[in-house]
Amino acid sequence: MPLHLVLPFSDWSERDEIAAFAQSVSLPSTSLLLGRGKRQTARAESLETWLAQRFGLSDLPVAPLTLALDLPGEEPGFWLRADPVHLRVDRDRLLLVDAGQFSLTQAEADGLCAGLNALYRDDGFRFVAAAPARWYVRLPGDPGLNWSPLDAVLGRDVREHLPKGDGALKWHGLLNEIQMCLYNHPVNDARVAAGKPAIQSVWLWGAGHYPLADKPVAPAQPVLSDLPLVAALTQHGGGQTKPAPASFDAVSGDAVVVLDQLRDGNLYGDAHAWLSAWLALEADWFAPALVAIKAGRLDELAISMPEAGFAVKVTQGSLRAFWRKPALPWEVR
């Protein structure tokens, strides 16, 4: 069987820094597979760009895509993701923290959205919490702005990534209003009293019209991933989608597996967490995959690292290319 592993968030921006930090980290199977595999044409790009190309789309309007998965009967129109976030002051920066770093119940999310709807009812905005960490807002129309993806802002100064374009200043003011509304909300009062982080704002991104005009084209093989965007693309494109299994040994048959274990460590600049995720990938995926290739149980292993601009295909034959040196993830390019 062939298998395609996609590893987003696999590139560390400061490679010399991570190489020095990781001197004692051993990834023998990972480095052998990356080094001995036959290089494929690839360019450095975000996961969203990589997915758009693989699913036959010119761009990736995340909000309508995931809305089709979460709330398929929703009202047509212009939608944004409006995900709940916590803001953290760090010296002279205001850093964004997403809901993956704190707990939030559906009841809390519904209560906060109700407060926002009461504030903006006359403006024609409608907020809805499809899941505790996945909120949306429907606008009366497209304001024609550029919105920064949530992943591009995590752990970074919010002020550098505010909406851009004509009329952006109005939206900067609206975000301040949203923050004041949430700050005064009883849900946040209860959270703070319980020692939990307050939901201080929403991050607006992934804009697009729902339903989509262009339909994704899903791969023929099943797509396994815990990322809602990947599941939405696959389902909307008529493909088969399931959550990612815990390890290589749980995969049966041809599949594309998108693994997001590297995400939080990478986006929040936590080198220890990022390297720990690589060690887990080594044990759960790359070591058993290498054994399977050598035994002839896995015909081909494709590995894609979108942000690193790196892709390889590994077979029994390529493993015999002894002149190709093993390569650690932060050494490939």
pLDDT in tens, 53-87: 999 999 999 999 999 999 999 999 999 999 999 99
CA triplet 4, 314, 245: central angle to 5 degrees?
30
> How far from the centroid of its chain's Cα atoms is residue 229's Cα?
8
Q: What is the mean pLDDT of the chain?
A: 95
* Residue 103 and residue 12 in one domain: no
Last residue of a domain, one of 150, 179, 210: 210
* Number of domains present in the structure of the chain: 2
Last residue of a domain, one of 210, 225, 253: 210
Separation between Cα atoms, residue 255 and residue 94, nearest integer Å = 41
pLDDT at 253: 86
* Residue 198 and residue 323 in one domain: no
User: What residue type is assigned to position 113 of the chain?
Assistant: C
* Residue 173 and residue 259 in one domain: no
Q: For the full predicted model, state whether its pTM sits above 0.75.
A: yes
* Residue 118 and residue 240 in one domain: no
Please give the share of the chain, as a percent, with pLDDT higher than 70: 100
* Residue 251 and residue 298 in one domain: yes
pLDDT at 90: 82
Q: How does pLDDT run across 199-222, given as a tens digit for each residue?
A: 999 999 999 999 998 899 999 999
Domain that holds residue 241: 2-58+216-331
pLDDT band at 196 (very low <50, low <70, confident <90, very high): very high
Q: How does pLDDT run across 150-191, given as a tens digit for each residue?
A: 999 998 899 999 999 999 999 999 999 999 999 999 999 999
Phi–psi pair at 138, nearest 5 degrees: -100, 130
pLDDT at 12: 95
CB contact at 8 A, 33 and 27:
no
Residue with the two structure tokens 């690292």: 305
Q: How many C-beta neighbours within 10 Å does residue 142 have?
A: 12
The residue-averaged pLDDT of 22-40 equals: 96
Residue 1 has pLDDT above 80, yes or no: no
Phi–psi pair at 324, nearest 5 degrees: -85, 120
* Residue 99 and residue 36 in one domain: no
pLDDT band at 101 (very low <50, low <70, confident <90, very high): very high
* Residue 39 and residue 167 in one domain: no
* Residue 116 and residue 171 in one domain: yes
| Overall size of the chain counted in residues | 333
